[in-house]
């Protein structure tokens, strides 16, 4: 019997870094590993510095020169400001989630964040290198919760069945339920968010504020609710609705992902531990919380 973590996103990689000394193995998938941090061009993905993330940073040898303050602005009907507006979280929920209240909805909630850009710090690559002996590149095909066993396919096509003593899932809860053969549907729990690449042209709010890493758009005349700086003149726009032309520039559609609009805040499912935002359906879960939870397993 073994101890396994399933899911090759950033949550799974952090979990194996923190739990390998307890005998866990990560089943990370046969495709790209790293989830949203795998070759992402979404701009800074911040690991906020606190006592929990400091533990991870120390393990990976990330130095102080890779830490900095990320600047945040807030755009309202009254204009752009570095000050956090009153009722900012409620305004953000109204735009991003149709008014549905989600705990700690805004990632920022301040005018700056001290942390590490996980992309620039090559966090995924460092985690893979640190844990190569504890990672199996395979796709989980089934989980038998009664017999405490799971089946997975290796890169060479071989099917393997193992019994588990403990199982931690970092994958989407609905995907986990399907692997377990359980009828579990997340209707009204998730909704689409549309991402666009935008290159500034002319004198608009972006061009005038290129020193800001993030702008939360809380104004009433736009479906866009967050803008993230990419490179010297680009932004990634997040919108609750499809858009075509934006301000003085052209917004090119990039991709569509999902976000949580209703929460379950689960920590377990059919005897399986759940770890991560989409595994737990808990929007308040941040990267720092993953480290904290692993320290308590």
pLDDT tens, 259-289? Answer: 777 788 899 999 999 999 999 998 889 888 9
Q: What's the pLDDT score for residue 263? A: 80
Helices and strands (DSSP H and E) totals, the chain: 7, 18
DSSP lists the bridge partners of residue 26 as 5, 135
Phi, psi of 294 (to 5 degrees): -65, -35
**Confidence (pLDDT) at 254:** 64
Predicted confidence at residue 235, as pLDDT, reads: 80
In this prediction, residue 9 carries a pLDDT of: 92
- pLDDT, position 276: 95
- Sequence-distant (≥ 6) Cβ neighbours of residue 158 within 8 angstroms: none
User: pLDDT under 70 in the chain at which residues?
Assistant: 36-42, 98-109, 183-187, 199-210, 233, 244-254
**Burial, 173: exposed, middle or buried (Cβ in 10 Å; 0-12, 13-18, 19+)?**
buried
Q: What is the pTM of this model?
A: 0.88
- The predicted pLDDT at position 224 comes to 85
């Amino acid at each position: 019997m073994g101890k396994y973590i399933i899911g090759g996103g950033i949550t799974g990689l952090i979990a194996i870094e923190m739990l390998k000394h307890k005998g866990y193995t990560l089943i990370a998938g046969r495709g790209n590993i790293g989830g949203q941090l795998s070759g992402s061009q979404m701009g800074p993905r911040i690991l906020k510095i606190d006592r929990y993330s400091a533990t991870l940073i120390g393990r990976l040898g990330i130095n102080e020169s890779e830490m900095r303050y990320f600047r945040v602005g807030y755009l309202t009907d009254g204009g752009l400001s570095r000050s956090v507006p009153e009722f900012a979280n409620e305004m953000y929920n109204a735009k991003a989630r149709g008014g549905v209240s989600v705990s700690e909805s805004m990632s920022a909630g301040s005018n700056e964040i001290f942390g590490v850009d996980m992309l620039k710090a090559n966090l995924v690559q460092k985690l893979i290198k640190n844990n190569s002996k504890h990672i199996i590149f395979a796709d989980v095909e089934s989980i038998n919760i009664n017999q405490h066993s799971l089946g997975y396919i290796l890169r060479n096509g071989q099917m393997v069945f193992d019994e588990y003593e403990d199982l931690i899932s970092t994958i989407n809860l609905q995907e986990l339920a399907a692997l377990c053969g359980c009828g579990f549907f997340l209707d009204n729990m998730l909704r689409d968010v549309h991402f666009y690449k935008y290159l500034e042209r002319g004198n608009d709010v972006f061009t005038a504020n290129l020193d800001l890493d993030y702008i939360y758009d809380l104004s009433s005349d736009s479906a866009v609710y967050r803008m993230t700086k990419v490179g010297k003149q680009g932004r990634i726009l997040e919108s609750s609705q499809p858009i075509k032309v934006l301000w003085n520039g052209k917004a090119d559609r990039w991709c569509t992902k999902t976000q949580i609009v209703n929460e379950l805040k689960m920590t377990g499912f059919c005897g399986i531990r759940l770890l991560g935002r989409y595994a737990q359906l808990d929007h308040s879960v941040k990267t720092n919380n993953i480290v904290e939870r692993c320290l308590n397993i």
